[in-house]
Amino acid sequence: MRFAYLGSGSRGNAAVISAGATHVLLDCGFPASEAERRLQRLGLEAADLAAVLVTHEHGDHIGGVSALARRHGLAVYMTLGTRAAGKMHPAVDVRVIDGHSPLTIDALEVLPYPVPHDARQPCQFVFHDGQWRLGVLSDAGCITPHIRDMLAPCDALAIEFNHDVDMLARGPYPPSLKTRVGGRLGHLSNCQSAALLADIGAERLQHLVLAHLSEQNNSPALAQQAAATALAVDPDWVQLADQADGLDWRQLAMR
């Protein structure tokens, strides 16, 4: 199994997870043509995709899904709540998932799990190719025991490090937005995600990717340092999924 990011941040999120010839797109917050360009940067065409999975209906995750799916005839998986709120074109092949039950897309087993976030029925995903597990977590206001249980057995993690609590407090956002971002249905701070990582530990991890960093309320160095301290690893080992450049392919393999 391998994975890569087309980009990550409040202006658009998308990742691709591959097992053999099965390629699944996770979210598409970029316009369809931009997503096609970013897929090509990773050596893929949109027509190569087996499916698109959508975590929730916020524009930075779903913005390009309808157009991309229509253009290439792609199946789109999302919860009932996300479909109700997500405004897909009626011609899109939407397949409803329940947010708890595993599903199989060709060579990938996909395990959805619900998260606390201010969307209708948000979920995140663990991907399993029969050997390795990749856990993805973004857009969650707090860590639940179930999130921890889903991510603890993973061999690679891509985790939201949205904001530094002090930078958010002192930053330019209006008070209502500060309350939303920092609240229990908002986004994970460096401190919250670092605590999750400290709880899970680094023993199994082949890759750790920090994602969905705020450009106003965080810095890559602060996020990397928080994660590295929590896991007692070198900050340089901690990887970042960038808004503009994403993250090139990362392979899960025998060590």
Question: Which residues would be at the binding site for Zn ion (CB under 5 A)?
Answer: 58, 60, 139
Amino acid found at 81 = G
d(CA 51, CA 32): 15
First to last CA, the chain: 14
Q: Residue 22 or 79: which CB sits closer to Zn ion?
A: 79
**Eight-class DSSP state of 192:** H
Residue whose Cβ sits closest to Zn ion: 58
Q: Residue 36 or 160: which CB sits closer to Zn ion?
A: 160
Least distance to Zn ion, CB of residue 55, Å:
8
Least distance to Zn ion, CB of residue 137, Å:
12
Least distance to Zn ion, CB of residue 34, Å:
17
Residue in the structure block whose two tokens are 């990887």 = 239
Q: Residue 140 or 252: which CB sits closer to Zn ion?
A: 140
Least distance to Zn ion, CB of residue 211, Å:
9
Phi/psi zone of residue 13: left (φ > 0), alpha (ψ -120 to 50 degrees), beta?
beta
Distance (Å) of CA 253 to CA 1, 2, 122, 151: 8, 9, 30, 18
Q: Residue 58 or 207: which CB sits closer to Zn ion?
A: 58
Least distance to Zn ion, CB of residue 254, Å:
33
The answer to whether 56 and 13 are in contact (CB under 8 A) is no
List of residues 6+ apart from 155 with CB closer than 8 A: 132, 133, 134, 204, 205, 206, 252
Q: Residue 22 or 121: which CB sits closer to Zn ion?
A: 121
Least distance to Zn ion, CB of residue 168, Å:
15
- Give me the numbers of helices (H) and strands (E) for the chain, helices first please: 9, 14
Query: For residue 16, what are the β-bridge partners?
Result: 4, 25
